[in-house]
Amino acid sequence: LPVGGIHDIRDPVHRASIGGVLAAQPLLDIRDTAAAARALKGFVTARREAVPVLADLAGSVVVFPDLEEAIGEAIGPEGEVLDGASPELARIRRDRRTAEARLRDRLDELLRTPAIARMLREALITPRGDRYTVPVRSEFRHQFPGIVHDQSSSGVTVFMEPLAVVPLGNRVRELAAAERDEVVRILAALSGAVGAAAGDLAITLEGLGAFDLAAAKARLSLEMRGSSPRLNAGGALDLRGARHPLLSGTVVPIDVRLGGERRTLIITGPNTGGKTVTLKTLGLLTLMAQAGLHVPAAPESEVAVFPQLYADIGDEQSIEQNLSTFSSHHNVGACTAVTTHYNELKAMPYTHPGMENASVEFDEATLRPTFRLLIGTPGRSHAFAIAERLGLDPRIVAQARSALSRQDADLAGVFQSVAAERDALLREREALAQERADCGRLRAELEAAARRLEEDRRQFFERAQAEVRSLVRRGRQELDTLLADFRARPSQDTAQRARLHLRDLAHASDAYAAQGRPAPPGLPPEDLRTGERVLVVSLGQRGIVHAAPDSHGEVLVQAGPLALRVPVSDLRRLPPGEADSPPEPLPAAGLGKAVALSATLDVRGLRAEEAVLELDKYLDDATLAGFNRVTVIHGKGTGALRQAVAAHLSRHPEVAAFRLGAESEGGSGATIVDLRRP
Q: Which residues, 6 or more positions from 617, have their beta carbon under 8 angstroms from its beta carbon?
A: 502
Around 296, how many Cα atoms within 13 Å sit in the side-chain half-sphere? Answer: 22
- Give yes or no for a contact between 40 and 1, defined as CB atoms under 8 angstroms apart: yes
Helix or strand (DSSP H, E) at 271: none
> What pTM value is reported for the model?
0.50
In this structure, of 66-70, 541-545, 672-676, the range with the lowest mean pLDDT score is 541-545
Res 585: pLDDT: 45
pLDDT over 50 at 317, yes or no: no
Q: Is the pLDDT of residue 515 over 80?
A: no
Highest mean pLDDT among 257-266, 363-372, 480-489: 257-266
The type of residue at 230 is R
Distance CA 65, CA 204 (A): 14
Of all helices (H) and strands (E), which one includes residue 304?
A: strand 302-304
Predicted pLDDT of residue 646: 92
HSE (side-chain half, CA atoms, 13 Å) at 193? 17
3-state secondary structure of 262: strand
Residues of the chain with CATH 3.30.1370.110: 597-678
pLDDT digit string, tens, across residues 243-252: 999 888 888 8
Is 50 exceeded by the pLDDT of residue 594? no
Q: Which of 8-17, 118-127, 171-180, 475-484 has the lowest mean pLDDT?
A: 475-484
| Predicted pLDDT of residue 504 | 63
Q: Report the helix count and the strand count for the chain, using DSSP H and E.
A: 18, 21
Q: What is the pLDDT, as a whole number, of residue 235?
A: 87
Homologous superfamily, domain 225-393: P-loop containing nucleotide triphosphate hydrolases (3.40.50.300)
Domain with CATH 3.40.50.300 in the chain: 225-393
Eight-class DSSP state of 555 = E
Asked whether residue 12 carries a pLDDT value surpassing 60, the answer given is yes
Over residues 475-481, mean pLDDT? 69
CA–CA distance, 297 with 207 (Å, rounded to integer): 30
**pLDDT over 90 (residue 20):** yes
**Percentage, residues of the chain above pLDDT 90:** 33
Contact assessment for residue 141 and residue 158, using Cβ atoms and an 8 Å cutoff? yes
The predicted structure's pLDDT at residue 510: 56
Contacts of 508 (CB under 8 A, 6+ apart): 471
pLDDT digits (tens, 9 = 90+) for 329-386: 556 678 888 888 877 788 888 788 888 888 888 776 776 778 888 888 787 777 777 7
SS (H, E, C) 483-521: HHHHHHCCCHHHHHHHHHHHHHHHHHHHHHHHHHCCCCC
Residue 592 has pLDDT above 50, yes or no: no
Segments of the chain assigned to CATH 2.30.30.30: 520-589
pLDDT score of 42: 92
**What band does 570 get if pLDDT is binned at 50, 70 and 90?**
confident
> What is d(CA 317, CA 302) in angstroms, rounded to the nearest whole number?
35
pLDDT at position 406:
60
Q: Does domain 87-192 have CATH number 1.10.3470?
A: no
**Range 520-589: architecture per CATH:** Roll (2.30)
Are 539 and 487 a contacting pair, CB within 8 Å? no
Q: Considering only the top CATH level, what class is 597-678?
A: alpha beta
Predicted local confidence at residue 319, as pLDDT: 46
Fill in the DSSP letter of residue 524. -
Task: Assess whether pLDDT exceeds 90 at residue 24.
Answer: yes
Q: Residue 170: which of 111, 123, 100 has the closest Cα?
A: 100
583 pLDDT above the threshold of 70: no
Tell me the average pLDDT of the chain: 82
Query: How remote is the C-alpha of 269 from its chain's centroid?
Result: 39
pLDDT in tens, 48-96: 988 898 998 898 899 999 999 999 999 999 999 999 999 999 999 999 9
Q: Is the per-residue pLDDT at 325 higher than 50?
A: yes
What is the spatial distance between Cα 23 and Cα 17, in angstroms, rounded to a whole number?
14
Checking if the pLDDT of 590 tops 50, the result is no
What share of the chain in percent tops pLDDT 70? 82
Q: Are 129 and 173 in contact (CB under 8 A)?
A: no
pLDDT tens profile 597-656: 778 899 888 888 888 888 888 888 787 777 788 899 988 888 889 999 999 999 888 889
